[in-house]
């Protein structure tokens, strides 16, 4: 097992290890536990700084990534770009080695997910996203210093918009799109840093970094 859930910076907002709320995800979790008994195979806790000003919202754990290691974006291709970017902007310190025991620490940032459990084919169903939003809402309520939320991909964008009391129907998604919540927090959107998006050149490092550059700028302005 990779990382105990009580290492989360916000344990009071975490799902229990055997969360029963989504039957399809529970069944898939049990399959993975039989197939890979040494993996994390449970809801993936938040990772980062409890005093973070920046929250990053991903989609859901990847099978070979967070579902295996227990830390968001750790062990799969998407994490390479994400953590390199956080290190570049001073939002992390140490070295990322795709291992939850690599000693990497986030500084002023925290990583959350719209869905905390691994979905089959990396595609959560709408009711699963809606059910798991309870944990995203609770996380953002506890993280009182967060002023900027970066959503990675459209599903994370919609989940984060709802958590920030922004109506998704009128909240634009696009790479670099900005929306201001009623309480003044800013939702920034980015294409997801998935292997597919990088391989198809829908997203490159410069594009991804531009979103975080803007997040840093917004922090100075607010």
Alpha-carbon span 117 to 130, nearest angstrom: 13
Q: Per the domain annotation, does 184 fall within a domain?
A: yes
Q: Per the domain annotation, does 90 fall within a domain?
A: yes
Instruction: Write out the two tokens for 126.
Output: 């709408």
Place of tokens 């998006």: 197
Task: Report in angstroms the alpha-carbon separations of 65 from 40, 101, 180.
Answer: 10, 14, 32
Range of 101's domain?
Answer: 19-221
Q: Per the domain annotation, does 5 fall within a domain?
A: no
Closest CA to 116 of 132, 140, 130, 100: 132
CATH number for the domain spanning 80: value is 3.40.470.10
Segment 58-74, tens digit of pLDDT: 999 999 999 999 999 99
Q: Per the domain annotation, does 64 fall within a domain?
A: yes
Closest CA to 183 of 163, 200, 211: 163
Q: Per the domain annotation, does 78 fall within a domain?
A: yes
Mean pLDDT of 133-159: 98
Q: Per the domain annotation, does 9 fall within a domain?
A: no
Rounded to a whole number of angstroms, the CA Rg of the chain reads: 16
Instruction: Write out the two tokens for 114.
Output: 């719209």
Does the model's pTM come out above 0.85?
yes
Q: Per the domain annotation, does 104 fall within a domain?
A: yes
Report the number of distinct structural domains present in the chain. Answer: 1
Segment 35-59, tens digit of pLDDT: 999 999 999 999 999 999 999 999 9
Give the strands of the sheet with 178-180, arranged side by side: 47-48, 109-113, 54-58, 148-152, 186-190, 178-180
Confidence of residue 79 (pLDDT cuts 50, 70, 90): very high
Beta carbons of 143 and 50 less than 8 angstroms apart? yes
Place of tokens 């996203």: 129
How crowded is residue 195: how many other Cβ atoms within 10 Å of its Cβ?
A: 14
Mean pLDDT of 161-187: 96
Alpha-carbon span 88 to 114, nearest angstrom: 25
């Amino acid at each position: 097992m990779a990382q105990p859930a009580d290492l989360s910076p916000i344990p009071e907002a975490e799902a229990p290890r055997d969360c029963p709320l989504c039957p399809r995800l529970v069944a898939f979790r049990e399959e993975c536990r039989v197939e890979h008994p040494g993996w994390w195979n449970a809801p993936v806790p938040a990772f980062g700084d409890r005093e973070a000003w920046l929250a990053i919202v991903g989609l859901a754990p990847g099978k070979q990534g967070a579902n295996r290691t227990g830390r968001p974006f750790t062990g799969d291709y998407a994490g390479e770009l994400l953590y390199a970017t956080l290190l570049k902007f001073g939002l992390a310190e140490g070295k990322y080695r795709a291992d939850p025991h690599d000693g990497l620490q986030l500084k002023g940032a925290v990583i959350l997910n719209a869905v905390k459990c691994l979905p089959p084919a990396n595609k959560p169903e709408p009711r699963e996203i809606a059910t798991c939003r309870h944990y995203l809402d609770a996380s953002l309520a506890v993280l009182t210093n967060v002023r900027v939320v970066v959503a990675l991909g459209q599903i994370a964008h919609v989940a984060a918009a709802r958590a920030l009391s922004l109506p998704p129907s009128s909240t634009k998604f696009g790479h670099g799109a900005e929306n201001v919540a009623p309480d003044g927090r800013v939702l920034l959107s980015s294409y997801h840093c998935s292997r597919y998006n990088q391989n198809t050149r829908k997203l490159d490092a410069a594009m991804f970094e531009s979103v975080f550059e803007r997040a840093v700028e917004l922090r100075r302005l607010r």
